Structure 1
Amino acid sequence: MADYYEVLGVTREASEDEIKRAYRKMSRKYHPDIAGPEFEDKFKEVNNAYDVLSDPQKKQMYDQGVDPNNPQASGFAQGAQGFDGFGDIFGQFFGGGFGSAGQGPIPRTQPGRDALSHVSIDLKTAIFGGVAHTSIHTYGLCPDCGGAGTRNGEKPVTCPDCKGQGFRQKVVRTMLGQMMTSAPCDRCEGHGTIIEHPCQTCMGHGRVQTKRNVGVTIPAGITDDSRLRLASQGEVGEGGGAAGDLYIDVSVNPDPQYTRDGDDLHCWIQIPMSWAVLGHDIDIDTFDGKKTLSIPTGCQSEDAIALKGLGVTKLRAQSERGNLVAHMVVDTPTKLSDREEKLMMEFAKLHDADAHHTTGRSRPKPKGRKGLFGRIKDALG
């Protein structure tokens, strides 16, 4: 008998809430749409464990040595406690469980599984939020029978073989004498009812494979590799059962102009040496339209100028935004005309008289100037 507590990673003293939390964690971890199709059996094992441990009656039976998910072993264990698992042994030899009755019919309506999809968004959508669209292939409610699985609104009828019990009993001879065994009814497959005229669209399953487009609301400030949950947007279950959830993995495409660091945006602007010396106002394209950037007099390469409140919306404080930080890259000319060279020489005579030679492995900082990170910190306030 499988150890359902071990499957969910909980102790036998775990509370209902602990079992539920463990199930949610394990079902997300091993869902075939998330972990891959090779985890299909593991996912079923997790669902079986939760089906038993979440039901007080089934849990009590399981704790007494009976597996409610294995009807072939349940009957004998109920009627022969103290035989230390002989029910499982007899089940292997005689193909059924020993006891007075089965565990009742298997419901036709089953909950659906969760589904997983993916969307890619641009940086602007990550900053301001928006709506993205994705297509998913999954099971949806049958449009003709509405999940009932029957034709023309008919109701399933009671199985004449098992009389609605879902299980049939018979007497078999064993080394211990005659024993009563129970097993799922072959005719109704354990449901206790029969669909005489199945819906031709879904063949009695109440659901059909479908492709549908889903609109995904993207919250402002979302980060790359985030996962969103859309409740009840996943796979519809057998018999039109409640749909599972849909999980959306979100990736943010790189932007050609800006990079993101937390809630701040960064860009690098190449400026001529004259702008760096004299200062200049330029218009730059931002996600809020054109904005004026004032380059101060005496600007140096790697200086950072911040435009406050033009960065990314803060995910948990939608009324606040980070900053846009522009890093200056001073372009030093490499080719000069005769006149430009003459002017630069005159400039050098006036400005570079106090230049001196220094030695050492690091570049000296200009007097009164801070390092790169200090200037960025000042720019961000």
Structure 2
Amino acid sequence: MSARDWIDKDFYHELGVSSDASDADIKKAYRKLARELHPDANPGNSQAEARFKAVSEAYGVLGDPEKRKQYDEARRLFGSGGFRPGGFGGFGTGGSTFDFGDIFGSGGQQAGASGGISDLLGNLFGRRGGTASATNRPRRGADVETEVRIDFVEAVKGATVPLRLSSPSTCGTCHGSGAKPGTTPRTCPTCSGAGLVSRSQGAFAFSEPCRDCRGTGRIVDDPCAECGGDGVSTRTRTLTVRIPAGVNDDQRIRLAEQGEPGQNGGHAGDLYVRVHVTPHAIFGRSGNDLTIKVPVTFPELALGTTLTVPTLDDKVSLRVAPGTSSGRVLRVRGKGISRRDGQTGDLLVTLQVAVPSNMDDKAKKALEDYLAATAGHDPRPDLTAMLQQRSE
């Protein structure tokens, strides 16, 4: 992205959010637009593809807190009457919170490492020194996020899933140069390849992105037909993603340097795969433990029994002691989720009394006899005592 893009483009407008939107709102807006504009959902729609690329570019800046901070600072300085060559705008009246330490001394060097605001302010006031322009230094590509859905068992045991991804990538025709094969870009004669032009204003020297090359330092006379001279084109690729055992719902998996390509030889960004897990019909999860609810009858709890309970691999037998209460949780060691760090959870079995909705006469008679036989037993002694105290 050229330096002028940070001034001319309204990334907040691209995502349909306000400039004070929270990180969560920005992420929500991007994910919604990405699903609607994805090339797979709009085959042959060049307008949707262009919007998808613009939305991805906007999120590459606003989705990164440091880049967003630099972008906001650049807009305050250079946009809407801010600091420009030939005048201080609102710069000296409190209209900007830009720290001069980012221009002079170590603060500027730190900003330059991330390639955002320093690309706009390189050599400002003639204090940065050196002949290489910040616009020509290697810049890391933007990160990309996509989603994948797997079932519960795959999340527990791990899985390898194919991922079809449409995203900006280095143009395969010109290999990122932006020029038609057989030709090469030429050095911009206006800025001599620096990407910046300087102007003097009194005692100060100001630098701004070169308008002719848009801050790249190069001019492409014969653009590549595939990417239109950008050096980047949207293409569909298939990746194999390894989902680790024990992954949580909504967890992100990072694939290093699988995002958007870098510029000027910089590293590509990362690809983040957000995993969505389909719930299981029987099993649940609590951390590394698997959970299951097993219906039992009252006689099984009162008299004791042995239950056969399923696991994700096979089945186990559990001994229920006589007099066990409904809601009791029994633990089966080592039958939970095994993670890569060596931790293994348990299977937690919750016993729940199942009350029959219909009974025949024989069953009703048996219950009535039981009720009569236990008439002297009070299952709620504490509640009964409390009620008696209040009545007195």
Question: TM-score band (shorter)?
Answer: 0.5 to 0.7
Tell me how large the CA RMSD over aligned residues is. Answer: 4.6
After TM superposition, the structure 1 stretch with the greater mean CA deviation from structure 2, 202-211 or 53-62, is 53-62
1:45-56 map, 5 Å: 45-46=69-70
Secondary structure class of the residue paired with 1:288 = coil
Specify the code of the residue in structure 2 equivalent to 1:322.
G
Q: Identify the residue that residue 369 of structure 1 maps to in structure 2.
A: none
CA separation in 1, counterparts of 2:385 and 2:371?
21
Q: Is 1:360 matched up with 2:382?
A: yes
Q: Is 1:272 matched up with 2:290?
A: no
CA separation in 2, counterparts of 1:46 and 1:312?
43
CA separation in 2, counterparts of 1:195 and 1:345?
94
- Deviations along 1:193-225, one digit per CA (max 9) or x if unpaired, are 433322211122221012334433222222233
Aligned-pair distance for 1:309? 1.0
Q: Identify the residue that residue 341 of structure 2 maps to in structure 1.
A: 317
| Structure with bigger gyration radius | 1
Q: Please, which runs of 5 or more residues in structure 2 have no aligned partner?
A: 1-21, 31-54, 75-97, 387-392
Q: Is 1:255 matched up with 2:280?
A: yes
Q: Identify the residue that residue 91 of structure 2 maps to in structure 1.
A: none
2:120–2:208: 8 Å Cα contact kept in structure 1?
no
1:108–1:191: 8 Å Cα contact kept in structure 2?
no
TM-score w.r.t. structure 2 length? 0.60
Q: Identify the residue that residue 186 of structure 2 maps to in structure 1.
A: 157
Q: Please, which runs of 5 or more residues in structure 1 have no aligned partner?
A: 1-27, 80-99, 365-381
CA separation in 1, counterparts of 2:262 and 2:233?
10
Aligned-pair distance for 1:236? 1.5
CA separation in 1, counterparts of 2:198 and 2:363?
106
Aligned-pair distance for 1:324? 1.0
**Aligned with residue 59 of structure 1, among 105, 109, 131:** 109
The 3 A distance-change label for structure 1 pair 71 and 322 is closer
After TM superposition, the structure 1 stretch with the greater mean CA deviation from structure 2, 282-291 or 335-344, is 335-344
Aligned-pair distance for 1:122? 2.7
Identical residues among aligned pairs (%): 27
1:207–1:239: 8 Å Cα contact kept in structure 2?
no
The 3 A distance-change label for structure 1 pair 183 and 102 is farther
Q: Identify the residue that residue 229 of structure 1 maps to in structure 2.
A: 254
**Aligned with residue 231 of structure 2, among 203, 206, 210:** 206
Secondary structure class of the residue paired with 2:222 = coil
Q: Identify the residue that residue 354 of structure 2 maps to in structure 1.
A: 331
Aligned-pair distance for 1:301? 1.7
2:157–2:245: 8 Å Cα contact kept in structure 1?
yes
Aligned-pair distance for 1:307? 1.9
Aligned-pair distance for 1:140? 0.8
Aligned-pair distance for 1:144? 1.1
Aligned-pair distance for 1:185? 4.6
CA separation in 2, counterparts of 1:141 and 1:339?
78
CA separation in 2, counterparts of 1:71 and 1:341?
87
1:133–1:216: 8 Å Cα contact kept in structure 2?
yes
2:126–2:206: 8 Å Cα contact kept in structure 1?
no
**Aligned with residue 289 of structure 1, among 314, 326, 332:** 314
Q: Identify the residue that residue 78 of structure 1 maps to in structure 2.
A: 126
CA separation in 1, counterparts of 2:379 and 2:23?
63
TM-score w.r.t. structure 1 length? 0.61
- Number of paired residues? 303
Specify the code of the residue in structure 2 equivalent to 1:326.
V
